[in-house]
Amino acid sequence: MSLSLSGTLGAGVADQDALQRTFVALFENIAHHTPLQTRVWLSAANGEGDSAHPIEMRIEDDGPGVSSDNLPHLFERFFQADASRHSMGTGLGLAIARSLVEAHGGSISAGRSRHGGLEFVLSLPREAPAGAGAEAGEGSEGAVP
């Protein structure tokens, strides 16, 4: 797997441990369900740089993607897109990622990447909602550069 990064972000306040767990779940999903030569792109959009505009991050790959029938179910607990994936995991990683992002007042979605594979889009407010640290896993809340 190769990774390309682009974009810059302003500071935002979030539970760093929860965000790390989210990204680990997303990248593990890509690693488990794509060929070794899959390329991955991570990009970040700064919005307008103020609290009214969320931070948006995209993770895209050029792997085989997911059928349009399965896309709406990717973030459901225990969902596995096909029988061949059954032994790869529990079907909880993306559900946990969604819970952590939503605990921050954000959203996460999956769709077709412009590179032919899967695309995850995370949108996070610049300021975490009250109590987000407790809901998101009681990690180390702080500024995320």
Q: Which segment of 48-52, 97-101, 114-118 scores lowest on mean pLDDT?
A: 48-52
Cα Dmax for the chain = 45
C-alpha torsion 18→65→91→108, nearest 10: 30
Average pLDDT over residues 119-138: 69
DSSP lists the bridge partners of residue 15 as 141
Rounded to 5 degrees, φ, ψ at 103 are: -65, -20
Q: How confident is the model at residue 135 (pLDDT cuts 50, 70, 90)?
A: very low
Q: What is the pTM of this model?
A: 0.77
Ordered domains of the chain (ranges, CATH): 2-6+15-136 (3.30.565.10)
pLDDT at 144: 45
User: Average pLDDT of the chain?
Assistant: 79
pLDDT at 82: 63
pLDDT digits (tens, 9 = 90+) for 47-93: 665 666 788 899 999 999 999 898 898 899 987 776 544 446 678 88
CA end-to-end span of the chain: 25
Identify whether the C-beta of residue 141 lies closer than 8 Å to the C-beta of residue 13.
yes
Burial label, 108 (beta-carbon count in 10 A; 0-12, 13-18, 19+): buried
pLDDT at 27: 93
pLDDT of 126 higher than 80: no
Question: Is the pLDDT higher at 127 or at 144?
Answer: 127
pLDDT at 142: 47
pLDDT at 140: 44
Identify whether the C-beta of residue 108 lies closer than 8 Å to the C-beta of residue 26.
no
Rounded to 5 degrees, φ, ψ at 93 are: -55, -50
